[in-house]
Amino acid sequence: MLMAQRASEERFLHLLERRMDQEQDAEERRLGLEERRLHLDHQHEQRMFTMFTQMLGMMRQGRGEAVPMPQPDTALPLDGDILGRLFMKKTQGSDAGGVYNCNQYFSPYLSNRGNILSGFRGSAEEGYRAYHEDKYDEDKNPNGIINFGTSENKLCFDLMSKRLTQSDMNVVEPPLLQYPDWKGHSFLREEVARFLTYYCKAPSPLNAENVVILNGCGSLFSSLAAVLCDPGDSILIATPFYGGITQSIFLYSGIKLVYVHLDSKITPPATRPFQLTVQKLEATLQNAKEEGTSVKALILINPHNPLGDVYSAGEMLEFLEFAKRHSLHVIVDEIYMLSVFDESVAYHSVLSFERLPDPQRTHVMWGVSKDFAVSGIRFGTLYSTNQDVCNGVASLCYFHGVCGPIQFKIAQLMRDRDWINQVYLRVNHARLRAAQEYVADELRALGVPFLNRHAGFFTWIDFRKYLRATTFEEEVILWRHFLDNKVLLSCGKAFECSEPGWFRVIFSDKTHRLQLGMQRIRKVLEIREKELHLDQKNEAEEDGKADSTDEVIYVSSHHEPSGSSLSDLIVQLQSQMRSSDWLQRNTVENFAKQNPEVFQVYSNLAGKP
């Protein structure tokens, strides 16, 4: 502690001298630097206080005392799993380990697993929380946040609300209020089998005995991971991919993902950006085996989120043949199968194939949240001809059941084939097509590259030219600029994209919100262009100078503490001190005045013998 104090004092003097120099060049500071500095100062304050109290706690525990650790502020920003990795220690071996071990977060009231769960942060948590606290409303909150980050279809509320409130839907019978078969009521499973037979163009009627009902596809991912894998096993998946799969797979069962990294550069045999090929699957699987990783399954998303790709029948068969060669289960996520809105794009469900390479290891999931614009209704279904898998997943349905009245409504909806075909799908596809074309035209006008796909609710956009440097730290800064200007996007790292600068924008929204959201995006990009132009103008003068706020982000992202010893925390604390002028402006007296409750907790801990 004395060494840490001495280092702090030395750093204080150094920062004081540096501040005097910086004040002379204040007019040359980049636009928006002060705002970033204030935000990052708040993060520093929380991190440094947490480390100080943990150091004291470890010393107390060394004497046999159990000292409760003050928890980091729940508002600590964690962007796209970049800043979130302050809490995560990257495991050795597979590159899939980065988000899985939470060793900084510590509570004596929790098990090791409980600490991991408490410290785990979803990739979009900060933005999603900010949106719910400040939602845009045309009348009540016109300056609120417009959400282009959450994949929801907001175009068909009028159709769905009308259909779901018609008289045939409003039935409540005794069996619907009692415990069902955990796999789902038989009437619903039979209707799901008929529905999938029709819309997936199955060559023969599908069997209701192969259907399992859960409360959403997230629960299906969790359950399948538990049933197909043992602790320590992994599942193969191509990046970028929908980031929520990481939580679904890992949080319950501790199963990790092995990433097949795709990139925008087209190299044979690929013919399009971010194209998955068997060669890439083979290479990644071989590397995983050499590192001692046991891979048990492959996840395929078709249509793809966030790319919007629709795999051809030939591609899907190649992937399934690859999995058969290596005895891998294949989990096929087809949740956007009815959201292919361009008639020229041919969609082929796995269930449409006359013959599957390995039917006992092929499992298909689908749900109503995307295709029927009802993400608030939690309903997902698994179809698998492997009864052992169905029975294993069904055992977990006890925790993931769907309430009886909702099961009845879903069955009624699926029965109404005429309304689905003649009304809903026609209108939904027309609205999705018009919304996607509007966003595409806006991006072309801005000169921004993007993948022009015709499935799902999203456009995968290349904002790399708006980054000061090709780093994920810069990607987070750009993401925050969008959020500060009241439009929520999803940055590429949230999807484990290997290239910084790619963003996902959701276009399945009403016209007035699309227009306003794109105006806000345009404003951010115009400001960013001016900043980059100023940077280029002053590049020679600024060459070699360090920006302390950039260093803060770098430390947060790349120097994760192990949390295993007092020395590790001291090293991390010293590193934080070297990258900030926080101490310079936060004396003990000022800190006590500004944060009396926090200071009292720290004083109580420090004063214990």
Whether residue 72 is contained in a domain is answered as yes
Whether residue 23 is contained in a domain is answered as yes
How does residue 578 score in pLDDT terms, banded at 50, 70 and 90? very low
State residue 14's pLDDT score.
Answer: 67
Whether residue 160 is contained in a domain is answered as no
* Candidate from 105-119, 239-253, 405-419, 440-454 with smallest mean pLDDT: 105-119
Structure tokens at 228: 């197909």
176 plus 212 within the same structural domain: yes
* Parallel/antiparallel/unpaired status of strands 380-383 and 211-214: antiparallel
514 plus 563 within the same structural domain: no
Q: Determine contact, residues 347/362, Cβ cutoff 8 Å.
A: no
Whether residue 572 is contained in a domain is answered as yes
Whether residue 8 is contained in a domain is answered as yes
pLDDT at 609 over 70: no
Residue whose C-alpha is closest to residue 498's, from 325, 217, 241, 235: 241
Residue whose C-alpha is closest to residue 454's, from 498, 491, 507, 490: 507
316 plus 190 within the same structural domain: yes
**What sign results for the dihedral spanned by CA atoms 442, 444, 446, 452?**
positive
Structure tokens at 259: 């990433």
pLDDT at 478 over 90: yes
410 plus 449 within the same structural domain: no
At 325-363, the pLDDT tens digits run 999 999 999 999 999 999 999 999 999 999 999 999 999
Report percent pLDDT > 90 for the chain.
Answer: 61
What is the spatial distance between Cα 480 and Cα 482, in angstroms, rounded to a whole number? 5
519 plus 431 within the same structural domain: yes
Across all residues in the chain, what is the average pLDDT? 81
pLDDT at 33 over 90: no
How does residue 383 score in pLDDT terms, banded at 50, 70 and 90? very high
State residue 157's pLDDT score.
Answer: 95
State residue 64's pLDDT score.
Answer: 44
State residue 82's pLDDT score.
Answer: 29
State residue 90's pLDDT score.
Answer: 33
How does residue 546 score in pLDDT terms, banded at 50, 70 and 90? very low
State residue 247's pLDDT score.
Answer: 87
Residues 6 or more apart from 277 whose CB is under 8 A from it? 269, 270
pLDDT at 485 over 80: yes
Question: 563 is in which domain, residue-wise?
Answer: 2-121+546-606
In degrees, to the nearest 5, what angle opens at C-alpha 132 toward C-alphas 89 and 77? Answer: 25
Residue 93 Rama label (left phi>0; alpha psi -120 to 50; beta):
left
Report percent pLDDT > 70 for the chain.
Answer: 70
pLDDT at 75 over 50: no
Average pLDDT, integer, range 143-148: 96
At 126-135, the pLDDT tens digits run 788 899 999 9
State residue 17's pLDDT score.
Answer: 65
pLDDT at 13 over 50: yes
109 CB-contact burial (10 Å; exposed 0-12 / middle 13-18 / buried 19+): exposed
243 plus 220 within the same structural domain: yes
pLDDT at 53 over 90: no
**Residue corresponding to tokens 């898998």:** 389
Query: In this structure, what are the phi and psi dihedrals at residue 504, rounded to the nearest 5 degrees?
Result: -105, 130
How does residue 92 score in pLDDT terms, banded at 50, 70 and 90? very low
248 plus 296 within the same structural domain: yes
364 plus 428 within the same structural domain: no
Whether residue 32 is contained in a domain is answered as yes
Question: What's the predicted TM-score (pTM) here?
Answer: 0.74
State residue 129's pLDDT score.
Answer: 87
pLDDT at 103 over 50: no
User: How many domains in the chain?
Assistant: 3
Q: Determine contact, residues 505/435, Cβ cutoff 8 Å.
A: no
State residue 114's pLDDT score.
Answer: 81
Residues 6 or more apart from 196 whose CB is under 8 A from it? 202, 206, 349, 351, 366, 381, 383
pLDDT at 98 over 50: no
520 plus 590 within the same structural domain: no
Average pLDDT, integer, range 439-464: 96
At 220-277, the pLDDT tens digits run 999 999 999 998 999 999 999 998 999 899 888 889 999 999 999 998 888 999 999 9
State residue 24's pLDDT score.
Answer: 56
262 plus 305 within the same structural domain: yes
* Farthest-apart Cα atoms in the chain, separation: 78
466 plus 368 within the same structural domain: no
- The 3-state DSSP class for residue 230 equals coil
pLDDT at 487 over 60: yes
Instruction: Count the helix, strand and coil residues of the chain and give each as a percent rounded to the nearest 5.
Output: 50, 10, 35
* Candidate from 11-15, 115-119, 222-226, 498-502 with smallest mean pLDDT: 11-15
Q: Residue-wise over 585-605: b if at least 16 C-beta within 10 A, else e?
A: ebeeeebeeeeeebbeebeeb
How does residue 113 score in pLDDT terms, banded at 50, 70 and 90? confident
At 155-211, the pLDDT tens digits run 999 999 999 999 999 999 999 999 888 899 999 999 999 999 999 999 999 999 999
| Boundary-marking domain end, from 520, 539, 558 | 539
Q: Is the peptide bond before 306 cis (omega within 30 degrees of 0)?
A: yes
pLDDT at 576 over 90: no
pLDDT at 575 over 60: no
Residue 554 CB neighbour total at 10 angstroms: 13
Whether residue 126 is contained in a domain is answered as no
Residue whose C-alpha is closest to residue 434's, from 368, 522, 515: 515
| Boundary-marking domain end, from 397, 415, 433 | 415
Residue whose C-alpha is closest to residue 148's, from 383, 442, 581, 496: 442
Whether residue 74 is contained in a domain is answered as yes
CATH number for the domain including 500? Answer: 3.90.1150.10
CATH number for the domain including 264? Answer: 3.40.640.10
State residue 80's pLDDT score.
Answer: 31
pLDDT at 495 over 90: yes
**Residue corresponding to tokens 């990644």:** 284
State residue 102's pLDDT score.
Answer: 46
401 plus 342 within the same structural domain: yes
| Boundary-marking domain end, from 387, 415, 443 | 415
Average pLDDT, integer, range 76-101: 35
